[in-house]
Amino acid sequence: MRRFVVIISVLFAIHVSGQEKDSVLDTVQIEEVVSYGHLQKFQSGAKIETISGIGYSQGQDGNLEQLLSRTMPIAFKTDAGGLSTIRIRGTAASHTSVNFGGIDLNSLTLGQSNFNNIPVYLFDEIGVQFGSASSVNGSGSIGGAIYLGLNNNWTDGFRLETRISHGSFGEQLYGTKIFAGNGKFEAVTRAYYYYRKNDFPFLNTTYRDFENDIFEIEDVQRNANVEKYGLLQELNYKFADNESFTFNIWLENDWHQVQQNMQTNLNNPDFGEEYQDQHLRIWAGYKNRKNPFKFEVNGGYVFDDAVNNGNTEDTIRTQRVLAEAFIEHDFSTKASYKVGAKAERIFPQVYAYSTSLEKEDRVDFYASYYQQFFRTLSLTVNLRQGFVTDYEVPFTPSLGLNYLALSKEYWILRFSGSVARSYRVPTFNDRFWLPGGNPDLAPEKGMNYELGTKWSYCNGDVSGNIKLSGFYLNIEDWILWKNGGAFWYAENVQKVKSQGIEFMTDWQYLLFGLKTLSGLNYSLTLTKRMASLNSTNAIGRQLEYVPLHSGNFFTTTYWKNFDFTLNGTYTGEQYTDEEDRNVLYPCFLLNAVLSYQAKLNSSNQLQVSGLLNNLFDVDYQSSWGYAMPGINYRLSVTYKFK
């Protein structure tokens, strides 16, 4: 019983201080996750999962899509390294915000993020919020939100990590992280370089030899190179406990050759197209949480530039200046509120927009209230109203509840629920692209209902969680581009209903005396197009690129300095169009990782890790018509000083 008293108090402490670590109950470490920690307190009932620990460290060499698809019940539409877009709970890629501090990474022109261009290596952990989160994040978080987390370690001394990774098809990653500080001032430098030639073999089914009756051929992917590098510099100063200044600057250069589909790869082997993204993201803030009146002042700047196929004349560039400030008042031990504002000035510079479009201002005012009742029930209310130049934004409230239903000697049972309204301001392309953009488009609107339960168990060497959540999400005025004859144009076209169940469980236990960590995620996602202005025969049918069933599992066993992991992902059948014509078949991909950690001395550590992806060499596609690699390996060596 004593253990659970501790656990419960830890859980509440986590809740109040805004962090949550689900994986291992008795080894919870309170860390300050600057990028999104403060958001969680006022989101009772919201489903927020954190990826850290072994699963996170195994994804260090890859991109965010690879990490999330193996650790979370989330579907992606992806090719073999060029473009990957998220589909949380059946929503579109533009319905999930990707947050770095107060910056939403999603392109203001396209509305979405390429998850292949988000390197896991630069961050300390990833948070995933399932369900609508517009009331705390503003426009865009209809299906969910991703938070890129950086821990403030307040380094005292010097630490260094370098990593070299080589893999199949010319994959290379070189990374380093340098931590230097005196306990008050901290400078953290993280940098990486990634390259992949991507010349993997595959069975090309678009081959046509009518004269010899042959309709498939062994082929090799061509012109799909990927090259990326980035630098993330932190400069942090701690005036006192709970009073700090943080400064983050993230420079990112992402270049890739646009992977061609199987037809073009076969018939136009020399054909290649390039795409380059360059980003500068700065987020800095002063945080004072010493008193019941807490406040933060943050500011940022974002430069996004895209060059399509080397054509620098057709500028695709946006710049943003951001400022955010809020106060948070804990006026009793059980109640607090937060009031804040966020302002953003956007300077679009896109060749297809009118030159008269110089800037757009966006201001959000928000207020949150947190109340705890009877030590077992907490409630939060969030209200947000945005204002956009010449555009009307809906009022966005949300309400959440957390309830600790039962607390026994070895287990506790919690329930949570929330109702949240959400919206997305149409992208600049949707509104201002000439021709076809429509300034009078209505914002996309979502209504999310969430109910979840979590059962946590801890007894001796066995601990774990079982989480079950159900959701119901309605999205209206979903924007699509329609064929207008002379050109395409944007319109509020469809209404989509998404409902489903997410089951997540993770367990730590002894297997033949060996510490083992296992988990399983399953997602049942029924996402249907309920109405559309387009004539379509896919009304009431599962939406494209949303598998009805999907899931993954992972299990890691530790033995001495070794750990061995098996993880697998299952993606059910997916429609790729509204014709019921091209269907992606279900596939199961199995991966294995073997790692060895050597402590050379008190200051020096070495970690060697070998990874085999797609062990069964499954021939599959994730985006219709685009080849994906079969079995492949990656070998990485990490050296850590102190």
Partner 1 sequence: MKNKFKIFFLLSAVALFFTACDNGDDTTEVSACFTYSPETTLQVGDTVYFSNCSENAIDYTWDFGDETTSTEAEPFHIYDAPGTYDVTLTAVNGGISNILTKQISIDADLAFIVNYGSYNSASSTISAFDKYADEVTNNYYEYVNNTTLNSNIQYAYTYADKIYMLGNVADQLFWVDSKTLEQSANGIQDVDKPRYCIADGNYLYVSCWGSDDIFYGDLTQSYIAKVNLETNSVEKEITLHGGPEGLAIVNNKLYAALNYMDSIAVMDLATEEISYIETSAFPSYFEKDAQGNLYVALTRAWDDYVTQTGIGYLNTTSDEIEAFYALDGVGTTYDNSLTFNADQSKLYVMSSGYDANWNLSGAVSAFDVASKSFDSGNVIEGISGINGIQYFDNKLFCFIAETVTSSGKVVSYSTDGTKIKEYQTGAAPFMLLTAE
438 or 597: CB nearest partner 1: 438
DSSP 206: T
Contact assessment for residue 3 and residue 412, using Cβ atoms and an 8 Å cutoff: no
> What token pair was written down for 20?
């949550």
Distance in angstroms (rounded) separating the CA atoms of residues 115 and 623: 14
Helices (H), 2-95: 2-17, 37-40, 53-58, 64-71
77 or 454: CB nearest partner 1: 77
273 or 305: CB nearest partner 1: 273
120 or 441: CB nearest partner 1: 441
Min dist. Cβ of residue 94 to partner 1 (A): 17
Min dist. Cβ of residue 266 to partner 1 (A): 7
533 or 594: CB nearest partner 1: 533
Distance in angstroms (rounded) separating the CA atoms of residues 441 and 425: 9
434 or 530: CB nearest partner 1: 434
Min dist. Cβ of residue 544 to partner 1 (A): 7
Q: How many CB atoms lie within 10 A of CB 397?
A: 16
Helices (H), 62-129: 64-71
Output the CA–CA distances (angstroms, integers) from residue 246 to 238, 285, 300, 359, 426, in the order listed: 8, 5, 11, 28, 32
267 or 459: CB nearest partner 1: 267
582 or 604: CB nearest partner 1: 582
Give the three-class secondary structure for 343: strand
Residues 6 or more apart whose CB falls under 8 angstroms from that of 57 comprise none
Distance in angstroms (rounded) separating the CA atoms of residues 253 and 275: 11
46 or 425: CB nearest partner 1: 425
Binding site for partner 1 (CB under 8 A): 206-211, 215, 261, 263-264, 266-268, 273, 309, 311, 313-314, 352, 434-436, 438, 440, 480, 482-487, 489, 491, 533-538, 544, 576-579, 581-582, 623-625
170 or 272: CB nearest partner 1: 272
Min dist. Cβ of residue 427 to partner 1 (A): 17
Which letter, b or e, does each residue of 581-590 get, where b requires 16 or more Cβ atoms within 10 Å of its Cβ? eeebeebebb
Q: What are phi and psi of 38, to 5 degrees?
A: -70, -15
Which residues partner with 402 through β-bridges?
Answer: 378, 416
Contact assessment for residue 124 and residue 104, using Cβ atoms and an 8 Å cutoff: no
Min dist. Cβ of residue 550 to partner 1 (A): 20
> What token pair was written down for 618?
């499954």
Residues 6 or more apart whose CB falls under 8 angstroms from that of 267 comprise none
276 or 438: CB nearest partner 1: 438
Min dist. Cβ of residue 306 to partner 1 (A): 15
Contact assessment for residue 73 and residue 504, using Cβ atoms and an 8 Å cutoff: yes
| First-to-last C-alpha distance (Å) of the chain | 37
> What token pair was written down for 103?
């910056």
Do you find a cis peptide bond into 435, omega within 30 degrees of 0?
yes
Min dist. Cβ of residue 142 to partner 1 (A): 21
Distance in angstroms (rounded) separating the CA atoms of residues 604 and 254: 32
Give the three-class secondary structure for 260: coil
Min dist. Cβ of residue 369 to partner 1 (A): 40
E-state strands within 512-548 = 514-532
557 or 576: CB nearest partner 1: 576
Min dist. Cβ of residue 598 to partner 1 (A): 47
Min dist. Cβ of residue 491 to partner 1 (A): 7
Distance in angstroms (rounded) separating the CA atoms of residues 482 and 436: 9
Min dist. Cβ of residue 445 to partner 1 (A): 19
Query: Could you give the angle at the alpha carbon of 641 between the alpha carbons of 639 and 642, nearest 5°?
Result: 135
Which residues partner with 377 through β-bridges?
Answer: 373, 403
Min dist. Cβ of residue 495 to partner 1 (A): 15
